[in-house]
């Protein structure tokens, strides 16, 4: 993330996780809690970039060991709780808002809430080891915050569903599946029993519409989002499209500007146009080659094809780049590259709305 350190983006540098990282000097002696804060800041900053920092297991488990002093655990838990209210929208391109005109119109939904779920769950689980009243109180506060955030996710998705905004519902579904998948994994990591209140209330929300007593969980909204995420559209799905984009870790130019961060797939036309405007020469050829090679490895997906269509809309000559020229004449590839963005997105939106009518019957 060179743009974090060049000082040109004052808004980015002012974000709490950026202040933590930029305030660190190599050689500093860090307390356990300060080291946790540094790892948390690094993770929040990079989890939506092509090359995320590999500190997941540390902040979710290893830095919460048995015997951790109570004061340290409370300091770490308080930081996790506070981080829920940090503004993460400048850090990623995978943000959607609630429906226009609704009470949720300005409410953001993005993957950083999933990262917050994971550390909040870890703090909740770790604080369960302590008998002190302060630990119990903070644990209850974390529980309430996780529940409230789950309800907020459900309400934002419902607003898009009611507004018949198919594309935004698809984007929200991908975010919801990611976020609650992360939460479920950390519950497993900590071996929370099935009787644990957090697991009963928030475990498997995208996988089970009803609780053990037969009551509908959050009106089935998050379960519907999970089903929409998996449902087939054009032979692909939001689940297939929103993979980890390993192919895009090689072109270093994609790390150089916030505008080049990967959005939610498969809606990559505008992102492709950003690449075409900002990247030239050999660097552009490298990005195109990475997109083609990544598409070959995931042939059922469409997102990389839409990114290439966006690039070609501004740089038709890019079709001559060897990697693209070698496959552009294949009928399926040719059809995807040729289809206008408006037609592609309208079809996916219509299919999403049809699925939202059908999915409740699966329950």
DSSP of 159-220: HHHHTT-HHHHHHHHHHHHHHHHHHHHHHHHTT--TTSHHHHHHTTTTT-SB-TTSPBGGGG
User: What pLDDT, in 10s, does the model give residues 93-121?
Assistant: 999 999 999 999 999 999 999 999 999 99
pLDDT at 157: 98
The pair of three-digit structure tokens given for residue 89, joined into one six-digit string: 């929208």
Q: What local confidence, expressed as pLDDT, does residue 7 receive?
A: 80
- What 144-148 contacts at long range (C-beta under 8 Å, 24+ apart), as own/partner pairs, is 145/81, 145/84, 145/120, 146/117, 146/120, 146/121, 146/183, 146/198, 146/202, 147/201, 147/202
Integer Cα distance of 226 and 110 in angstroms: 15
pLDDT digits (tens, 9 = 90+) for 309-335: 999 999 999 999 999 999 998 999 999
- Using the structure block, give the residue that is written with the tokens 């990247």: 279
Q: Could you give the count of Cα atoms lying within 13 Å of 107 in the half-sphere of its Cβ?
A: 20
Candidates 109, 225, 224; CA nearest to 173 is 225
Q: Are 9 and 258 in contact (CB under 8 A)?
A: yes
- Model's pTM, two decimal places? 0.96
pLDDT, tens only, 238-265: 999 999 999 999 999 999 998 999 999 9
């Amino acid at each position: 993330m060179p743009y974090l350190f060049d000082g040109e983006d004052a808004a980015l540098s002012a974000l709490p996780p950026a202040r933590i990282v930029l305030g660190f000097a190599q050689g500093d002696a860090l307390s356990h809690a300060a080291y946790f804060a540094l790892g948390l800041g690094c993770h929040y900053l990079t989890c939506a970039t092509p090359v995320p920092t590999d500190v997941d297991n540390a902040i979710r488990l290893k830095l919460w060991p048995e015997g951790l002093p109570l004061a340290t655990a409370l300091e770490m838990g308080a930081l996790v709780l506070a981080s829920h209210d940090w503004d993460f929208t400048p850090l990623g391109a995978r943000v959607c808002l609630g429906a226009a005109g609704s009470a949720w119109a300005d409410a953001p939904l993005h993957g950083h809430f999933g990262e917050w779920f994971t550390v909040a769950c870890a703090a909740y689980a770790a604080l369960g080891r302590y008998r002190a009243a302060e630990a119990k109180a903070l644990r209850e506060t974390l529980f309430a915050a996780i529940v409230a955030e789950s309800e907020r996710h459900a309400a934002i998705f419902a607003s898009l569903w009611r507004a018949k905004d198919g594309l935004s519902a698809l984007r929200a579904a991908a975010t919801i599946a990611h976020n609650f998948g992360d939460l479920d994994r950390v519950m497993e990591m900590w071996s929370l029993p099935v009787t644990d209140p957090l697991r009963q209330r928030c475990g498997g929300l995208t996988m089970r519409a009803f609780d053990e007593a037969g009551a509908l969980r959050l009106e089935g909204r998050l379960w519907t989002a999970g089903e929409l995420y998996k449902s087939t559209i054009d032979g692909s799905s939001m689940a297939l499209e929103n993979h980890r984009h390993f192919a895009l870790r090689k072109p270093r130019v994609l790390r150089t500007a916030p505008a080049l961060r990967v959005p939610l797939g498969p809606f990559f036309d505008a992102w492709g146009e950003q690449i075409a405007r900002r990247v030239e020469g050999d660097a552009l050829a490298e990005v195109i080659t990475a997109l083609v090679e990544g598409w070959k490895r995931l042939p059922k997906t469409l997102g990389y094809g839409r990114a290439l269509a966006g690039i070609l809309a501004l740089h038709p000559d890019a079709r001559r780049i060897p990697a693209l020229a070698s496959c552009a004449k294949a009928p399926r590839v040719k059809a995807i590259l040729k289809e206008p963005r408006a037609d592609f997105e309208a079809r996916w939106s219509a299919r999403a709305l049809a699925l939202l009518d059908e999915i409740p019957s699966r329950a």
